């Protein structure tokens, strides 16, 4: 099995959200303990650098990052009813974005797969607004770094149960980035309808796939296998990034979906299969997930599948096309002709 690379930094443990907050340091403590017990699934573990000013400014206005840094330097405080900072929060967020950028550099340099495992998460952060536990949009900073720094087209696959509104809006008009999101609806932040397909030159490169509460492996996996993988084949990215939240898990307290460990392994395995066949590197960027057991098992299953290891629970080798996937193929086929072909054609 080929070795991948995993970026992390101890500052993730110092971002203090206070007692009772679901996005807490125990998330990373549990991940570190679980992955270390599995010898990091063979990934080479590296320390994340801080994002450079140039990397951040390609997504976030300098006035925003300066203000966020000043807030944290002053001891931190609440930004909204969900999102709080402490003195160490800016460094934690910067290392999260910097680790994602370093992951991109490692993938471009020849690593076939890898991961960036930090907190706080990032996909809700808009260009100039923190929200939803997120301060800096790490996956967006990494994708923009891949586009501007390496000349790559990037596909971002977001399976966090909450819509990645920040990533969605940052790349809405950018045809160099394909953004695909599977998310529960209705649910916070209340964005990501199927009608939101991007704007201007980026029209059609935003693909929102909302699912109802209670959706599980069959729905999520079918949307990946029958919609997203054909989209990747037509878009032909030079890099795939997965915004990997684990709050669609059946055990997560913040949503109502029912994905299992095996479901995450299957989704990751489907993306890996495409990546290997296309010769494209794939990177996993941690987002949400608030039940510690579900988080560590889901992430472990994902990392193992991306690395090519067989999952503990192997689902059926074929999967019927879910009605939501069929509807999405029909809806999107005008922009993406590959979706008009039926399976096997």
Q: What is the pLDDT of residues 231-257, one digit of tens each?
A: 999 999 999 999 999 999 999 999 999
The answer as to whether 328 is a domain residue is: yes
The answer as to whether 133 is a domain residue is: yes
Q: Residue 299 is part of a domain; what is its CATH number?
A: 3.40.800.20
pLDDT at 330 over 80: yes
For the segment 215-225, the average pLDDT, to the nearest whole number, is 98
The answer as to whether 89 is a domain residue is: yes
The answer as to whether 345 is a domain residue is: no
**What percent of the chain stands above pLDDT 70?**
96
Q: Which domain holds residue 246?
A: 5-340
- The answer, as to whether pTM is greater than 0.85, is yes
For residue 67, count other CB atoms closer than 10 A to its CB: 13
Total tally of structural domains belonging to the chain:
1
Q: pLDDT for 260-275, tens place per residue?
A: 999 999 999 999 999 9
The answer as to whether 326 is a domain residue is: yes
The answer as to whether 16 is a domain residue is: yes
Fill in the DSSP letter of residue 196: -
The answer as to whether 84 is a domain residue is: yes
Of 65, 45, 48, nearest in space to 11 by CA: 48
SS in 3 state form for 278-326? HCCCEEEEECCCCCHHHHHHHHHHHHHHHCCCCCCCCCCCCCCCCHHHH
For residue 312, count other CB atoms closer than 10 A to its CB: 12
pLDDT at 314 over 80: no
For the segment 90-98, the average pLDDT, to the nearest whole number, is 99
Query: What average pLDDT does the structure give for the chain?
Result: 96
User: What are the structure tokens assigned to 129, written together?
Assistant: 């607004």
Contact 136, 93 (CB under 8 A): yes
Catalytic residues: 124
Q: pLDDT for 157-184, tens place per residue?
A: 999 999 999 999 999 999 999 999 999 9
Contact 201, 174 (CB under 8 A): yes
Residues belonging to the chain: 345
**Res. 313 pLDDT band, cuts 50 70 90:** very low
pLDDT at 322 over 50: yes
User: What are the structure tokens assigned to 272, written together?
Assistant: 């890996």
pLDDT value of residue 310: 58
Contact 160, 170 (CB under 8 A): no
């Amino acid at each position: 099995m080929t070795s991948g690379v995993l970026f992390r930094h101890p500052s993730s443990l110092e971002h203090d959200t206070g007692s009772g907050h679901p996005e807490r340091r125990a998330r990373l403590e549990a991940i570190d303990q679980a992955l270390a017990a599995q010898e990091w699934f063979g990934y080479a573990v590296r320390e994340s650098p801080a994002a450079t000013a140039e990397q951040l400014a390609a997504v976030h206005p300098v006035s925003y990052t300066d203000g966020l840094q000043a807030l944290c330097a002053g001891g931190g405080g609440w930004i909204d009813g969900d999102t709080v900072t402490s003195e160490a929060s800016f460094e934690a967020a910067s290392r999260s974005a910097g680790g994602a950028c370093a992951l991109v550099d490692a993938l471009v340099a020849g690593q076939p797969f890898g991961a960036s495992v930090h907190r706080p998460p990032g996909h809700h952060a808009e260009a100039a607004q923190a929200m939803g536990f997120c301060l800096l949009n790490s996956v967006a900073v990494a994708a923009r770094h891949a586009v501007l720094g390496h000349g790559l087209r990037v596909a971002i696959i977001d399976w966090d149960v909450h819509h990645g509104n920040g990533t969605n809006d940052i790349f809405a008009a950018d045809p160099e980035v394909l953004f695909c999101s599977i998310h529960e609806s209705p649910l916070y932040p209340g964005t990501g309808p199927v009608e939101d397909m991007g704007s201007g030159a980026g029209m059609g490169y935003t693909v929102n796939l909302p699912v109802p509460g209670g959706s599980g492996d069959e729905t999520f996996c079918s949307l990946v296998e029958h919609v997203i993988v054909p989209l990747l084949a037509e878009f032909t990215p030079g890099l795939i990034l997965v915004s990997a939240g684990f709050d669609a898990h059946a055990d997560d307290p913040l949503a109502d979906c029912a994905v299992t460990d095996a479901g995450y392994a299957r989704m990751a395995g489907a993306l890996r299969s495409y990546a290997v066949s296309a010769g494209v590197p794939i990177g996993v960027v941690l987002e949400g997930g608030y039940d510690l057991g579900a988080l560590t098992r889901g992430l472990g299953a994902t990392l193992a599948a991306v690395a090519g290891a067989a999952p503990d629970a192997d689902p059926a080798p074929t999967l019927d096309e879910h009605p939501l996937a069929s509807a999405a193929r029909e809806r999107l086929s005008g922009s993406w002709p590959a979706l008009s072909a039926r399976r096997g054609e």
